[in-house]
Structure 1
């Protein structure tokens, strides 16, 4: 079998969440599981318990974990020595109801991170909103550990959280240590490859599957909060001076993300570095080795480092997110 790499597409992994809904059925082609709330679709995941599988070409059925072991240099290029597993986790979230109020540790808070895992910085791109949409991002000024703990005990945590009503297209950066939650929205999420979450508060609800409230980790959450992360709002996109149809939404030590809207041929990818593409609207074809590889709404495509730059031919207009993994000495920016 020819095992040369090419643009790789992956099958989404659906996750039950009590706060989820059924809207991901309109975003992704894979049918949702039985009639239960689906809150997350993990579209690129190199986790031991949930490893994404290739859906196209000669490597169909391979997991991203297998690819990282068998083709490390070809896949990661100049980043090959930095990572034993793929460092980002990509998701679509259907937040029909508001998630728990939560926080994630930073990479240097080792005592709160299971062995082999990392901290968790993440970011959202808002795709759909509704009448009850709200994003909680950061604390209100003047909030400290004492009055936040009191708010938890008195079931009034929301009074201590900064929030705003999002609109489609908003980009929100959630650095590790930031208290956050959201509801009434469908978002794309990019994050460090970590599943470490500490819940501060869960709105006094019961999980219908267990008949019990979900566990809270108040002490751990309070220990991991960065109380200087206050009043977080939408990020300001930076339009590319040379390509007005490309705007940078996030640029930090873990990931760089651009939003691209084109009607004619354009280029994606970087020589000797992996690139991830996520389809938001429309369809098109990534052209590699004179072959077309279709990408459309809800699709994720990984361009291995050895592919270098590729061209995309849109069918009409296409909107894509392009994600890169920064080099080793990347300074902290958002």
Structure 2
């Protein structure tokens, strides 16, 4: 069976700090009760595996598609990985996230079996006036001061912060202490990992359990890069301006993320390489032979390598994120 563009179903997750804003980026009402903090829009994990939303391959997971259609899916990257090495999410922070840090691949002693480190990036989709993002440490912070302030509940004093606006991009390398502030919605691209160490959680109690969430102060400190300093919004690199404004937001050893903004038809995808398309704002269509694929705000499509380059036709202004895994 020849592959076509594949739309995947989001997996919505309860989070005590979440809200209900992600319905703006969902085709259907969110069925999860209570605060929803995350939508895992493309996940290749045993506990939460994204499935194809429609068509003859409906219900198939990424792992199954790689196993059964590796060459068509991955093209020149066939055999590079069996599990998709990235995890893509939308985050809705109605309240402040915990002050946290993710270990790197080098911290093997801190990683559960089969897990990887977690470098990630955020693209701000919405931000209320006065909201904050905390990323990186102020100058002079040491393991001793960070430990003491985490235990005293004053760790915020050690964190660098800024007020985000819609469209900001933030690269959060593993080892960076960070917290997403309340009133911010982001698109997150990260290594395929679910390892988070919490330094402080604002003295909250999870209504579902009636207990505070677990803290990991020593593991957090061991994972933290104390030389990194403050982290601010990235400066995009303009790659193309005809028909579409194409900007490189993030280029790391783990992921490549570009932003495409336009209202006229433009190209998406790549020859002989898989791409992931995320509709950040607006909608449009893609044509592949006789089939037309509707792209709505919040949709995520995998464009298999065999599909190649397609023309995207916006309905008004559209903002897309195009994600790739760097070649080995």
Please give the TM-score of this superposition, normalised by the length of structure 1. Answer: 0.95
Task: Kindly indicate whether the alpha-carbon contact (under 8 Å) linking 1:8 and 1:301 is maintained by their aligned counterparts in 2.
Answer: yes
Q: Give how far 1:230 is off.
A: 1.2
Q: What displacement does 1:131 show?
A: 3.6
Q: Deviations over 1:207-250 (max 9, x none)?
A: 01111100011111111111122110000011115546111111
Deviation at 1:21, TM superposition (A): 0.5
Query: RMSD of aligned C-alpha atoms?
Result: 1.2
Provide Cα deviations, 1:28-67, integer angstroms capped at 9, x if missing partner: 1122125400000000000100000101211011112211
Contact 1:12 1:30 in 2 (8 A): no
1:81 CA displacement = 2.0
Are the aligned partners of 1:10 and 1:54 in contact in 2 as well (CA < 8 Å)?
A: yes
Please identify runs of 4+ aligned residues in structure 1 that moved more than 4 A: 241-244
Q: 1:168–1:4: structure 2 CA closer, same or farther, 3 Å change rule?
A: same
Compute the TM-score of the two structures, normalised by the length of structure 2.
0.96
Q: Which residue of 2 aligns with 1:269?
A: 269
CA distance in 1, matches of 2:184, 2:44: 25
Alignment partner for residue 12 of structure 1, among 7, 10, 31? 10
Matches within 5 A, 1:189-228: 189-228=188-227
Aligned match of 2:23 in 19, 22, 25? 25
1:86 to 84, 87, 90: 84
Q: Is the 8 A contact 2:10 2:41 kept in 1?
A: yes
**Correspondence for 1:123:** 121
SS of the equivalent of 1:169 reads coil
1:92/1:188 contact within 8 Å kept:
yes
How far did 1:177 drift?
Answer: 0.6
- The 5 Å alignment of 1:132-171 reads 132-171=130-169
Contact residue 280 and residue 296 of structure 1 kept, 8 A = no
Comparing 211-220 with 109-118, which one deviates more in the overlay? 109-118
- Matched residues in 1 for 2:51 and 2:29: separation? 16
Report the CA distance shift for 1:9/1:215 in structure 2 as closer, same or farther (over 3 A): same
User: Does 1:295 find its partner at 2:300?
Assistant: no
Give the whole-Å Cα distance in 1 for the aligned partners of 2:117 and 2:277.
24
Write the distance in 2 (CA, Å) between the matches of 1:241 and 1:327: 22
Segment drifting more, 235-244 vs 82-91: 235-244
Answer yes or no: is the 8 Å Cα contact 1:46–1:65 preserved in 2.
yes
Match of 1:133, SS state, is coil
Deviation at 1:291, TM superposition (A): 2.1
Unaligned runs of 5+ in 1: 329-334
Q: 2:232 aligned with 1:233, yes or no? A: yes
Q: Which residue of 1 aligns with 2:258?
A: 258
Q: Distance in 2 between matches of 1:30 and 1:66?
A: 25
Distance in 1 (CA, whole Å) between partners of 2:65 and 2:12 is 21
Q: Structure 2, unaligned stretches of length 5 or more?
A: none
Whole-angstrom CA distance in 2 between matches of 1:321 and 1:283: 13
**Which residue does the alignment assign to 2:41?**
43
The SS at the match of 1:278 is strand
Answer yes or no: is 1:314 the counterpart of 2:286: no
Q: Secondary structure, in 3 states, of the residue corresponding to 2:121?
A: strand
In 1, are the aligned partners of 2:262 and 2:319 still within 8 Å (CA)? yes
CA distance in 2, matches of 1:144, 1:72: 47
User: What residue number does 1:332 align with?
Assistant: none
Residue 269 of structure 1 deviates from its aligned partner by 1.1
Q: Measure, in 2, the Cα distance between the counterparts of 1:137 and 1:316.
A: 34
| Matched position secondary structure for 2:67 | helix
Structure 1 residue 317 displacement after superposition: 2.1
Q: Counterparts of 2:135 and 2:116 in 1: how far apart (Å)?
A: 21
- The CA distance in 1 between the partners of 2:184 and 2:24, in whole Å, is 14
Q: Distance in 2 between matches of 1:133 and 1:152?
A: 22
